[in-house]
Structure 1
Amino acid sequence: MSFTVVSLGGPVAPEGEAMLAAAGITSLSTGPYPAKDEVVALLAAHRADAVIVRLVERIDDEILRASPNLRLVHKHGAGTNDIDVAAAKALGIPVMAAVGANAHSVAEHALALMFALIKDMRRQDAFVRGGNWAGKSYQGHELRGRKLGLVGMGLIGRNLARMASAIGMSVEAYDPFAPDDAFGRECRRAPDLDALLASSDVVSLHCPLTEQTRDLINARTLGLMKPSALLINTARGEVINETDLVVALREGRIAGAGLDTFAPEPPAADNPLWALDNVVVSPHVGGVTEEARREVSLITCGNVVSFLKGEDVPQRFFVAR
């Protein structure tokens, strides 16, 4: 039996495409953030058996019903907030994610944002490009000796805890759902979120987007942070209330922010964050290094092939079934 897989938001890595081809699967893809009508028409026309979700606005009930053959939705990454998981479950369509595949990459990216802020790289780059050269303009500091507060202690948080500890930071994390063995020599468990925010020099977000974490960082919680503190977000944009963050950054309630994710995505061209020189941004690329993209694609395509062929897939990759 032949199968068709559609990758929404761009093709998977070449190694993943090769895996699909070797299994005799027809692989199709769209460009980034395809229009909903385009997605529905493509899935219906090719009677897709599985969908790989990369860069899309949202996979909703209408899209899930577009192909009568649809048997699987697989996120090309870990976060599934762009998939209506409840609708998929109601239709009997399992949802999977490449859990942990890009954890090291995202942890490195969070650390890179910290370094960019603490070393004043944005201003220094502009200073030198402007034809200037004077050491007295430098406003850099060290991460060594500072406290990192992690919100979320999954695989990304655990990787980052090890990295930060290695450069001399103390690390504490808040995650009421993480098992005790997630915390080790490199990281203490914080008793509550407010205490973590108030005592940390750098706060890095690594929690999933849920109704409980939406707008978790807001005017009240930002007000708990030190005026010298830095905020890093490589989780989901909706975890931060951007309006409140802009006010806090403008008024010096916190010292800076390093952001890889936004709400919505892509963000508006006139987003007020762009005018702030204490902000470093990137376009949601923390988990898409070449190495991470390859690993995510191999896990995703391996799961898709196994599932369509009726073979076992490890339970840890299922979000809903």
Structure 2
Amino acid sequence: MKVLFCHRVTPVLRDHYRSSLPEGIELIFPNDLSDSELQRYAPDIEVAVGYKFTKEFLDQAQKLRHIQIPWTGVETLDFELMKRYSNLTISNSHSNSLAIAEHAVALFLSAAKKIVYRDSVMRKGDWSTRYNDVTSQWLSRKTLGVIGYGAIGSKVARMMKQGFNMQIYAIKRHPTTDQTEEVDFIGTLDSLDYVIKKSDYLLIALPLTPETKGLIRERELALLKPNVVLVNIGRGDVINEKDLYDFIEKSELAAVGLDVWYNYPKDRKKPLVKQNSPFEELPYLVMSPHSAFKVESREIPFTEDIISNLKAIYNQEEPQNRVNINEEY
């Protein structure tokens, strides 16, 4: 079985893949990732590991039966194009879910306890936040709403339930029987308003799809409790940007943590990028630059799902984390 890696893979990871997979799997790591070079390998491969594919590549890849996305997000795929190739299956990877879940909990704690706000003031030698009327939020025995009870959302829920005895109200595309036993409530998007209203803490952990883009707007934000703590570690555009900014600016009690955004640098050498709204001016907002995945020694652990799926396909078994091409996640 020939596997083509269509994204940059470090020498350390190349060695790890080779030592972790059966000899019957031939791994191809092109140094040149241009479209023309990838197309040269296309006719002979059965699996492609990557995140963006052209029609020319897919037309030439007559033996291709599976695409493995090397991370969680799949919005870089052209799903209208993918639908033309009915023989293809697609999987993504959730090996980074624990790192992102830990980061989400850190954002909840930092936002709820006003850590960044108080830190920024005290760096000027100013102790006024000890004496003013701005208070922190309790976490213990509160209700956490999880919009997107998948690999990340379920881990956050488990941490908050075990650590702070929280009640968990969850939303999932297709709830399963075992998940109903993990939480206090689980429903589909039909129950979105109900979960939003119940939540003292609200986690957005949804992928970006046609169904979820702009899912949270002014109407949904108006349903939140006045002192809610909201964290988004899914995708920025799940929440309408202007509506989110207006909600935070007008709220006197709510706290928010964001790791996902609307405008991103196109070149890592030019990292200065502003959002369309001045989020940096909001004192009770905790921000991080889509960096939840950046944990120490992450390279090897993040390959677990890819290796597991390549073994499954080689052994003619079903790969995990299948993407629904019609639902685009």
- Equivalence for 1:96: 91
Letter in 2 for 1:5: F
Q: CA RMSD in A?
A: 3.3
- Equivalence for 1:26: 28
Give 1:204 shift. 0.4
Deviations 1:155-208, CA, capped at 9 Å, x for gaps: 322222221112132221123521232122543235721121122111101233
SS of 1:225 mapped into structure 2: coil
Structure 2 counterparts to residues 187-226 of structure 1, below 5 A: 187-189=184-186, 192-226=191-225
List alignment gaps of at least 5 residues for structure 2. Answer: 267-271
Give 1:290 shift. 4.1
SS of 1:315 mapped into structure 2: coil
Deviations 1:76-109, CA, capped at 9 Å, x for gaps: 12332221244234234432212x4233222222
Q: Say if 1:165 and 1:186, in contact at 8 Å, map to a contact too.
A: no
Give 1:47 shift. 4.9
Structure 2 counterparts to residues 115-154 of structure 1, below 5 A: 115-133=109-127, 135-136=130-131, 139-154=135-150
Q: Say if 2:145 and 2:201, in contact at 8 Å, map to a contact too.
A: yes
- Equivalence for 2:269: none
Q: Say if 2:145 and 2:169, in contact at 8 Å, map to a contact too.
A: yes
Identity, % of aligned positions: 24
Give 1:222 shift. 0.7
More displaced, 11-20 or 79-88?
A: 11-20
Q: Say if 2:96 and 2:302, in contact at 8 Å, map to a contact too.
A: yes
1:184 aligns with 2:188: no
> What is the aligned residue count?
306
- Equivalence for 1:245: 244
Q: Say if 1:4 and 1:46, in contact at 8 Å, map to a contact too.
A: yes
- Equivalence for 2:9: 11
Closer, same or farther: CA 320–159 of 1 in aligned 2, 3 Å: closer
Q: Say if 2:114 and 2:136, in contact at 8 Å, map to a contact too.
A: yes
SS of 1:90 mapped into structure 2: coil
Q: Say if 1:234 and 1:260, in contact at 8 Å, map to a contact too.
A: yes
Deviations 1:236-279, CA, capped at 9 Å, x for gaps: 22211112111111121771321122235449812122332222
Q: Say if 2:95 and 2:304, in contact at 8 Å, map to a contact too.
A: no
Match for residue 169 of structure 1 among 156, 166, 176: 166
Q: Say if 1:72 and 1:94, in contact at 8 Å, map to a contact too.
A: yes
Closer, same or farther: CA 11–133 of 1 in aligned 2, 3 Å: farther
- Equivalence for 1:87: 81
| Structure 2 Cα separation of the partners of residues 29 and 289 of structure 1 | 26
Deviations 1:32-86, CA, capped at 9 Å, x for gaps: xxxxxx74244236659454336xxx54545645877766431112332221244
Give 1:317 shift. 3.6
| Structure 2 Cα separation of the partners of residues 254 and 127 of structure 1 | 18
| Structure 2 Cα separation of the partners of residues 313 and 13 of structure 1 | 28
Q: Say if 1:16 and 1:301, in contact at 8 Å, map to a contact too.
A: no
1:297 aligns with 2:297: no
- Equivalence for 1:35: none
SS of 1:198 mapped into structure 2: helix
Closer, same or farther: CA 252–171 of 1 in aligned 2, 3 Å: same
More displaced, 250-259 or 18-27?
A: 18-27
Deviations 1:2-38, CA, capped at 9 Å, x for gaps: 764221xx436934542147755232468xxxxxxx7
Letter in 1 for 2:5: V
Q: Say if 1:225 and 1:254, in contact at 8 Å, map to a contact too.
A: no
TM-score of the two chains, using structure 2 as the length reference: 0.78
Give 1:221 shift. 0.6
TM-score of the two chains, using structure 1 as the length reference: 0.79
Give 1:224 shift. 1.0
Letter in 2 for 1:154: G
Closer, same or farther: CA 141–306 of 1 in aligned 2, 3 Å: closer
SS of 2:320 mapped into structure 1: helix
